Chain A
Amino acid sequence: EPEVTQTPSHQVTQMGQEVILRCVPISNHLYFYWYRQILGQKVEFLVSFYNNEISEKSEIFDDQFSVERPDGSNFTLKIRSTKLEDSAMYFCASSQYRAGNYGYTFGSGTRLTVV
């Protein structure tokens, strides 16, 4: 069964450093997403991406965050200057279509620890 692949599985970074989280969505999917989950809390939407541009973003997704699809396969989330509160699991997801009649496929996540 096709999978969404995320790397690395765990990243430790110092506060103020830039990090890039990588994702390879399912190949025929057109819609891409990032979510995050702080330990013990809900899964929160960050951003959706379609046709090489952001289509929706949450309040969490401020100027410190950016997304990119640098080639035909990768989808990245960059945090420019990490804060302690950015420590969380980050999940990438993809979907073939946007409509409510389709589900998402999520990756296994990257655990980001900011120290």
Chain B
Amino acid sequence: DAKTTQPNSMESNEEEPVHLPCNHSTISGTDYIHWYRQLPSQGPEYVIHGLTSNVNNRMASLAIAEDRKSSTLILHRATLRDAAVYYCILRNGSEKLVFGKGMKLTVNP
């Protein structure tokens, strides 16, 4: 499974935008970039995914570099509820998701 690299942690302030980076330099042409998050004591939650173009949904935006070797999850206005561990995962046709350690986001009031 192709590997992703994320910072261990980040801090942001409530109601400010936050950009969560992910590097995936060995991504293959068929890998989708998925983001999940895990709130404390909860199961992972799907956030967003994309292949080549930037994507927006009600939760977040995903900006994908032109060479696809990196991507950025954008939370437009962080709330306290966004404090979680965020996972950047590459997924092709394989059924399983391979979770790394993820990145812990702390949101300060």
| Interface size range on B against A | 20 to 34
B98 contact from A31, A45, A48, Cβ within 8 A: A45
- Tell me whether A68 is interfacial, beta carbon within 8 Å: no
Chain B 93-106 interface mask (CB, 8 Å, partner A; 1/0):
11111111100000
Q: Could you say which of B4-12, B36-44, B62-70 contacts chain A?
A: B36-44
- Tell me whether B19 is interfacial, beta carbon within 8 Å: no
Q: Which of B38, B95, B98, B101 has the most CB of A within 10 A?
A: B95
Cβ–Cβ contact B43 & A91, under 8 A: yes
Chain A residues, Cβ within 8 Å of B34: 100, 103
Chain B 40-70 interface mask (CB, 8 Å, partner A; 1/0):
0011111001010000000000000000000
Cα–Cα distance between A93 and B97 once the two chains are bound (Å) = 11
B42 contact from A48, A93, A103, A108, Cβ within 8 A: A108
Chain A residues, Cβ within 8 Å of B97: 35, 43, 45, 104
Cβ–Cβ contact B99 & A42, under 8 A: yes
- Tell me whether A107 is interfacial, beta carbon within 8 Å: yes
Q: Which of A31, A50, A104 has the most CB of B within 10 A?
A: A104
Chain A 50-63 interface mask (CB, 8 Å, partner B; 1/0):
10000110100000
Chain A: interface residue total (CB-CB under 8 A): 27
B51 contact from A42, A43, A58, A101, Cβ within 8 A: A101
- Tell me whether B92 is interfacial, beta carbon within 8 Å: yes
Chain A residues, Cβ within 8 Å of B46: 103-106
Nearest 5 A/B pairs, CB to CB: A106-B43, A103-B46, A100-B32, A43-B99, A45-B96
| Chain B positions near chain A (C-beta within 8 angstroms) | 30-32, 34, 36, 38, 42-46, 49, 51, 87, 91-101
Given A42-B99, A56-B94, output 16 extra A-B contacts at Cβ < 8 Å: A33-B95, A42-B100, A43-B38, A43-B44, A44-B99, A45-B98, A56-B95, A91-B44, A98-B93, A100-B30, A100-B32, A100-B92, A101-B32, A101-B51, A104-B36, A106-B45
